Amino acid sequence: MAYRIYSDGASKGNPGPAGIGAIILDPKGKPAQRIAEYIGVTTNNVAEYQALIEALKVCAERKWSPVEVFCDSELLIRQLTGQYKVKHPNIIPLHAEAKQLLAKIGCESLQHIPREQNKEADRLSNVGVDKGRGF
């Protein structure tokens, strides 16, 4: 059984103040880790990648493996599965880091999900934005 990562990034302004959010569920479906951090001013796509990367780093550090990834960013999922090419210079190193972590940990699946199924990660990403805005 796999750990499940639900991740999301938020940017108010795109680019603007940005936050990352993720929830990692253990193989029994119980929350094992929540992440909500401010990451500075950046774009939504960068925030999406950074949210996933941070969750993958937690899994790697704790030896939580394998993982299943769920994200409402169609771009991120399609780039990571090779359906889309990565062209933006700010995304290329993030894509490479995510791919390296996914290979290290062991990834069973990468799935695009509707925003409604990613509410907790979305909430956490907005908590991250609020931290940077002093709320």
- Output the domain CATH number for residue 8: 3.30.420.10
Helices 44-62 and 92-105: crossing angle in degrees, nearest 10, is: 30
- Give the pLDDT confidence of 74-133 residue by residue, as tens digits: 999 999 999 999 999 999 999 999 999 999 999 999 999 999 999 999 999 999 999 987
pTM over 0.85, yes/no: yes
Residue 105 domain boundaries? 3-132
- Axis crossing angle, helix 44-62 with helix 119-132, rounded to the nearest 10: 110
Helix (H) or strand (E) holding 61: helix 44-62
Alpha-carbon torsion, ordered 16, 130, 34, 4, to 10 deg = -40
Provide the domain count of the chain.
Answer: 1
